[in-house]
Amino acid sequence: MESIDIPLDSKKIILITGGASGIGLCLTKQASELGAKVLVADLRTTPEFDSWSQGKSNVLYVQSDVSHWPDFLKLFDACERKWNDVPDAYGICAGVFEPPFSNFWQDPEQDKGYAQVDINVSHPIKLTRLAIKKSLERGKRASVCIIASIGGLGGSIAAPLYCATKHAIVGFVKSMTASESFTGVKITTICPGLVHTPLFTADKKEQYSFHENKALKPDNVAQGMLDLIQKKQYGCGTVFEISMAGTRVIPEWNIAPPSAEGTGQNEAEMAAGMKALLEPIQEKLRRETKGSKL
- Print the SS3 string covering the chain: CCCCCCCCCCCCEEEEECCCCHHHHHHHHHHHHCCCEEEEEECCCCHHHHHHHCCCCCEEEEECCCCCCHHHHHHHHHHHHHHCCCCCEEEECCCCCCCCCCCCCCCCCCCCCCHHHHHHHHHHHHHHHHHHHHHHHHCCCEEEEEECCHHHCCCCCCCHHHHHHHHHHHHHHHHCCCCHHHHCEEEEEEEECCECCCCCCHHHHHHCCCCHHHCECHHHHHHHHHHHHHCCCCCCCCEEEEECCEEEECCCCCCCCCCCCCCCCCHHHHHHHHHHHHHHHHHHHHHHHCCCCC
Instruction: Let me know: does 12 contact 37? Beta carbons within 8 Å.
Output: yes
pLDDT, greater one: 79 or 286: 79
What are 211-259's pLDDT values in tens digits?
888 899 999 999 999 999 999 999 999 999 999 999 999 998 877 877 7
Amino acid at 59: V
- pLDDT the model gives residue 80: 98
60: β partners: 39
What are 26-50's pLDDT values in tens digits?
999 999 999 999 999 999 999 999 9
- pLDDT the model gives residue 294: 52
Domains detected in the chain? 13-287 (3.40.50.720)
Residue whose C-alpha is closest to residue 146's, from 183, 120, 180? 120
- Please give the average per-residue pLDDT across 81-88, as a whole number: 98
Q: Is it the case that residue 277 has pLDDT exceeding 90?
A: no
The Cα 193–Cα 258 span in angstroms is 9
The Cα 288–Cα 261 span in angstroms is 34
- Please give the average per-residue pLDDT across 278-290, as a whole number: 76
Amino acid at 240: F
